[in-house]
Structure 1
């Protein structure tokens, strides 16, 4: 911007909390950047318009408002340089945010995409982000052409293919095609990071809880006096079984049936062993959040907006002993590594490799000063084991879920 004059007006697109807090805070940590003026294009439409008129070097907007921004300017697009923080959030070529940015891409001189998970589910996720980088020069102008070149149809229903398998050597060919515009840097290759230790903590269910779990797994139904727990599809069954493994489950009326406290007891032991150091806990179900808060009143969640920014400051200054986070809301871009936290706990297990990797990277990242241990509370003999195994295989998402459910059903039938 000021040395080579190759960038004039710079737009940064980021997750909301990252746009509101992280970029502004980080810029002051670097002597050669501290003079840059930032304008946050956030809030109401009037507030956003006012921020766009501010005298600044960098304008920062959350990704949900990209469509609005394109609508404001159209062919009068003023930003010659665009940086997308977490470009994998543009992986869906049918999303409004992708289509909006695609419209103004010809007016952008330079576009930079940043992500720790470039293809979170499969190579298919690469087409849309790479298109934004080069307008289809390397992987093709259309998703159909990309599929035809690098994939073969898998599962289908009539003429609709909903599962594509990568051709042999597709990965190598795709990486070669984008190698001149892609830079891959792992923190451990360039920085002396402390050690990260991953460990599964086996959690034993009580005989009664185990019987209820097996009943739902086998019969897809648990009867209660007020409302039943029913699993009608494989995806619902997987979700219900993961809930039960964590200690509670939603019934048909969205009420909560509590099954066991085994994971709460395990978490209590972990907190005691932390010797007063802060602990970060990831949960996936609202009833898990409620039960953890009930057992541990000192627990805090990240609030929204400016309150959330204050929570981040408090956490990094060791003023929050137990922080509860959902991987979807705290998975990208937040810098939470400045606290004395050494322990990250996954109370609920998930299928998404992207969410898992991004969430763990909130603490284990540049700036962390001590070893980090990632603990997963895994209920023995439950779907927890399958979800964790899928992540360890670097499998992810819907495919891993379906395979695990299929294997479990076959196992139950055989028994």
Structure 2
């Protein structure tokens, strides 16, 4: 019997979504995506998704810094006659002012030498982590959390512009942030509020829940949802400000903290730019790792705040320049644009500025980072294992066919991304391709025997589940989760599932169902399930495939390995042997090594920095082609030895050196 699935169809509503202006001259809102969820069988879902396949999969294989961010539209059709022209004039003035500001900054750019800058950075004062502070958090802080709050409180007391709390995932950055806000609220006249928290959409509810748990008296307002929900927040703010007593300098806001997503913060910046926030907290701050992105420029330039607190467990994901972007966001005076260091070139590489001496100072004056190994010695151990699974016969033939069909384009540097997606799908399961699975659909051992990784997964679960282990199973492809779901149903294994189609309001109920032991396996898409979940009831994490960005996988495994975990944690990565899967894992090791070198020990070596920059610079470069050809000669030889196909031609063998 075929399982049931959910299909999400996206389209843009044509309804004008204009909000009447009042007091703040509120912006015009873009219409939300119209979403409909329809139950379908897996085969029907897979066929209907085919037209959107490349669009869906491209984010899985292209580095984050190569994906264009959606631009913020400046105009939406006005609903009321006579106001459109006035609004357009206001927007034109704003654009002209922005352009003029950028021009003045370019003309006033002062060129400084790296030596002068280094002297200035090393001369900056260090925070006092022994400083005393008071807070109202209803929870005992761990020693490393007390130290983190003291460090932030000292930065605030010194009049610094912000800091980066870069603790490893699972060490409690949220509670440290709330304790910091509580501490500065009790310390002086300026107070801590109003403050703003900007985070991924999936974490909005988590911030509200954590605030209610640790600071129950804190007034938290969520800014999210559709037109009516956001309009209600705006009207509440307006009425509260209008009721501010005469003579009171600060407006009376109906909240202490307002929480919103990165997307809405950018889209509705005309609303948020009206506030003067005491503190702006950016959770998962790697979202502002690119100084040229719309997100960075909008939030950095238009969110008015006294203090910036950036939270991230992954301050470096791809290159050292990304880390510089975070430093620049926090303090653009101390960490100016890289272009300000050389008048003759567009910019100097951040790796040449961040020497070991400078990094050591930065990690005390601007950034604080602790690891579980150093901060939480009571945490149980974590064991990581890579299972290299030889391709099944059908997978080998399909793998070779994909490369042969696309060889000409790839060698010319074209169509590489699509080819890489197809190879990754082949490594996961051949049934992800039309016409491979027997028709009509029926359950049976073929569901897992056709794929090396699915076969290995079934054997793993047959050992883990009887021993009462509880499993988080991640995949970057929801279509792979569809097939795994069919396998679990066929084998009678209880499960729950969370992917991007699950609404934020429903995420909590899915997590509770797993925590209450109603399921043994939790199926999660890596991107949707890798943030904001506390799943310490699981002690085993299995990656069916690896994300292009290794930091995303790290965030996912930290759902189980974090404060509160009482059992040893086993992390298993399934990898198709001698394929692009292995190449991606090797690339991940190099990227993680770069981050550890910079953040852990100081200066990156020139070799590692150049290698990283080269890999991230061109999605169609030599490094990607070498990933495509990784292990091909072995795969072809195995196919020939088993008599699974005709011998390859000399031209096909030439792939390995291409």
Normalising by the residue count of structure 1, what TM-score does the alignment of the two structures yield? Answer: 0.82
* In 2: Cα distance, 1:277 partner to 1:187 partner: 23
Among 287, 301, 323, the alignment partner of 1:103 is: 301
Please, which runs of 5 or more residues in structure 1 have no aligned partner?
154-163, 222-230
* In 2: Cα distance, 1:240 partner to 1:13 partner: 35
Shift of 1:183: 0.8
Among 513, 518, 541, the alignment partner of 1:314 is: 513
* In 1: Cα distance, 2:543 partner to 2:212 partner: 32
Give yes or no for the alignment of 1:266 onto 2:456.
Answer: yes
Shift of 1:119: 1.4
Equivalent residue number for residue 471 of structure 2: 279
* In 2: Cα distance, 1:336 partner to 1:176 partner: 34
Give matches, 1:323-338, under 5 Å: 323-337=522-536
Give matches, 1:39-50, under 5 Å: 39-50=221-232
If each structure's helix is expressed as a fraction of its own residues, which one has the higher value? 2
Equivalent residue number for residue 59 of structure 1: 258
Give matches, 1:169-208, under 5 Å: 170=354, 172=356, 175=359, 178-179=362-363, 180-191=365-376, 192-208=378-394
Equivalent residue number for residue 236 of structure 1: 418
Equivalent residue number for residue 160 of structure 1: none
Please, which runs of 5 or more residues in structure 2 have no aligned partner?
1-181, 238-253, 408-412, 438-448, 593-611, 634-652
Aligned in 2, Cα 1:95/1:393: closer, same or farther, shift over 3 Å? closer
Give yes or no for the alignment of 1:357 onto 2:554.
Answer: yes
Paired residue total:
383
If each structure's strand is expressed as a fraction of its own residues, which one has the higher value? 1
Give yes or no for the alignment of 1:144 onto 2:339.
Answer: yes
Give matches, 1:396-407, under 5 Å: 399=615, 403=623, 405-406=625-626
Equivalent residue number for residue 225 of structure 1: none
* Larger-Rg structure: 2
Aligned in 2, Cα 1:187/1:257: closer, same or farther, shift over 3 Å? same
1:92 and 1:125 in contact (8 A); partners too: yes
Shift of 1:397: 10
Aligned in 2, Cα 1:394/1:102: closer, same or farther, shift over 3 Å? closer
Shift of 1:296: 1.4
Equivalent residue number for residue 117 of structure 1: 314
Shift of 1:71: 1.1
* In 1: Cα distance, 2:319 partner to 2:301 partner: 25
Give matches, 1:206-217, under 5 Å: 206-217=392-403
Shift of 1:346: 0.8
* In 2: Cα distance, 1:290 partner to 1:218 partner: 28
Shift of 1:165: 6.2
* In 2: Cα distance, 1:212 partner to 1:328 partner: 27
Among 290, 296, 299, the alignment partner of 1:92 is: 290
Over the residues paired in the alignment, what is the CA RMSD in angstroms? 3.1
Normalising by the residue count of structure 2, what TM-score does the alignment of the two structures yield? Answer: 0.53
* In 2: Cα distance, 1:40 partner to 1:373 partner: 36
Among 427, 439, 444, the alignment partner of 1:245 is: 427
Among 176, 195, 198, the alignment partner of 1:13 is: 198
2:318 and 2:591 in contact (8 A); partners too: no
SS at match of 2:522: strand
Which stretch of structure 1 is more off in the superposition, 197-206 or 403-412? Answer: 403-412
